[in-house]
Amino acid sequence: MSYLPQVTEAHYVREFIVSMRFDDGTEKYIDISQWFNGPVFEPLKDPKFFKKFFVEAGTLAWPNGVDIAPEALYAARESSKTGHKRIERTRKTRRSS
């Protein structure tokens, strides 16, 4: 990969999903739980601790020193669970009096 992406913004969406913007303008909703392997990620499974993430040096990081490489975040598949509700439209029917 010749382009090294940098995270410029990150916002909590829900559960373990974070909305991220990269320096090339790309925006993604990423489920961070896909990286919850190994003891270093154990604290992130606590939703209160998970929400303490911040952007540092172009990537997503937490107070316990955990971070995820920006190129891994950039290459990750976007979550299908964005938290946006799909609106279904139905036709109103007239009631006869």
pLDDT tens for the chain, 97 residues long, are 588 999 999 999 999 999 999 999 999 999 999 999 999 999 999 999 999 999 999 999 999 999 999 999 999 999 876 544 433 333 444 445 4
d(CA 86, CA 69): 32
List, in order, residues 6 or more apart from 61 with CB less than 8 Å away. Answer: 53, 54, 55, 67
Domain ranges for the chain: 7-75
Please, is 88 exposed, middle or buried when counting C-beta atoms within 10 Å of its C-beta (0-12, 13-18, 19+)?
exposed
Predicted model pTM: 0.78
Distance CA(62)–CA(67), nearest Å, equals 6
Count other Cβ atoms within 10 Å, centred on residue 53: 20
Is the CATH number of domain 7-75 3.30.2020.10? yes
